[in-house]
Structure 1
């Protein structure tokens, strides 16, 4: 009789059921969110479908967090510490899992909705070797123009060309070394230009890069352009890519 009373006080099977439900929701959300990018990258699904998976995964992760908190509370009340621990771990896992999408969402709201960034908006470095690949993509080959330049000036005023105090050949060698260290696919190099493609890890988005060097009396001027093949907004990726590349090149 005392054993039955003790089981009743401890909530019976409900703490375990709710804890398992939280785990199932969490795993399903993780599969949808992680799989959305990799499935698109593998060309199994389209971009629209991948975003649907991502959205569904985010909603399921919130549901998992709610159920996890409930499992934590019920487990604590019933003194069922394992279900309570599971609930706590699920809730923490959800926080970690949705941190990146939330940061991307906040970042998207804080940067201009453009996808083609350059240090020279009056005479942007041109895509030549990559022109065909860009013609086959949704976004244009040529720099979009004055409206994009205006938004870039407002959103990324710090982006400027740099001047290197070294011979052109040395500057080119250093730039090529950095491009290779970043695992960008080099499409072509000339005496003063480099064209390459950077591929994002999660969704496999392809962003094309062209680096142009001009000899000056004071050294070598380096201009750079980075443009996404798809999407209206790059969420600040291209500007960050240019900024970090030029900083690394200047350090060398």
Structure 2
């Protein structure tokens, strides 16, 4: 009886299953830290430094989960245990999926300059007036950074230019306001030829401020936009992408 029981025991004993369960628990913990860091900061449960600390811990755990998943896959395959092997493969795939967004952000950060204030008019950027107190209280401040930022913007984002609308000023302003609301921004001030708004990023809840200015010119109404982050040296291209999306939407609406 003892010999029969021994022969029926799975190869590798409990180790493949234990490794599989451990890798699953570690990848779940990593996902909670990576996915929860942003919402925790956005809900003001932790400050920005602590949130970035959670991201680092989550990345380390994800790396550990990948090592455990690979070990599970190898051990289970050698022991001919298909279920633990499948779990190990799924853990590896999950870690890869979790790291796609951070990897993309890192690659994007290497491709764009470390600037955070983008505008279609670098000589005379639209001013923040209603948002001045919020800007002055923020680390990045109120004033436009100057020619150093402008030269970096020209090289990195040559397509960020003013938009000319073939509309009367009042109609152009109505279209500009409607398009800003369509973007989901919080409108802070709307005047006859300008508006100010705040855009909040989805994950971390970072506040980026937008100023839009309209002026009559010879061939229509010129629309200038400025989008500036309140915190962070680099916006990883977010403000340029926001201006592009806004001007494209406004152009479609005006047509």
TM-score by length of 2: 0.95
- For residues 109 and 61 of structure 1, the distance between their equivalents in structure 2, rounded to whole angstroms, comes to 23
Name the residue aligned to 1:67. Answer: 68
Name the residue aligned to 1:37. Answer: 38
CA contact (8 A) 2:162 2:222 kept: yes
Name the residue aligned to 2:143. Answer: 142
Name the residue aligned to 1:99. Answer: 100
Name the residue aligned to 1:89. Answer: 90
- For residues 20 and 216 of structure 2, the distance between their equivalents in structure 1, rounded to whole angstroms, comes to 66
Name the residue aligned to 1:130. Answer: 131
Name the residue aligned to 1:4. Answer: 6
- For residues 50 and 155 of structure 1, the distance between their equivalents in structure 2, rounded to whole angstroms, comes to 29
Name the residue aligned to 1:181. Answer: 182
- For residues 127 and 83 of structure 1, the distance between their equivalents in structure 2, rounded to whole angstroms, comes to 58
- Offset at 1:167? 1.6
> What is the DSSP-based 3-state SS (H/G/I as helix, E as strand, rest coil) of the residue aligned with 1:183?
coil
- Offset at 1:174? 1.7
Name the residue aligned to 1:22. Answer: 23
- For residues 139 and 111 of structure 2, the distance between their equivalents in structure 1, rounded to whole angstroms, comes to 24
Name the residue aligned to 1:205. Answer: 206
- Offset at 1:15? 0.6
Indicate the RMSD between aligned Cα atoms, in angstroms: 1.1
1:25-82 Cα offsets, whole Å, 9 max, x none, are 1011111111111111111211111111101101111111121122122222222221
Question: Tell me, which stretches of 5 or more residues in structure 1 are unaligned?
Answer: none
- Offset at 1:159? 0.8
- For residues 177 and 73 of structure 1, the distance between their equivalents in structure 2, rounded to whole angstroms, comes to 57
- Offset at 1:6? 4.0
CA contact (8 A) 2:183 2:246 kept: no
- For residues 118 and 191 of structure 2, the distance between their equivalents in structure 1, rounded to whole angstroms, comes to 22
- For residues 158 and 230 of structure 1, the distance between their equivalents in structure 2, rounded to whole angstroms, comes to 24
Matched, 1:241 2:246: no
- Offset at 1:2? 3.9
- For residues 135 and 57 of structure 1, the distance between their equivalents in structure 2, rounded to whole angstroms, comes to 33
1:167-220 Cα offsets, whole Å, 9 max, x none, are 222222222222112211000010111100000011000000011111112111
- For residues 70 and 179 of structure 2, the distance between their equivalents in structure 1, rounded to whole angstroms, comes to 47
Indicate the larger mover: 57-66 or 225-234.
57-66
> What is the DSSP-based 3-state SS (H/G/I as helix, E as strand, rest coil) of the residue aligned with 1:100?
helix
Matched, 1:165 2:166: yes
- Offset at 1:86? 1.0
TM-score by length of 1: 0.96
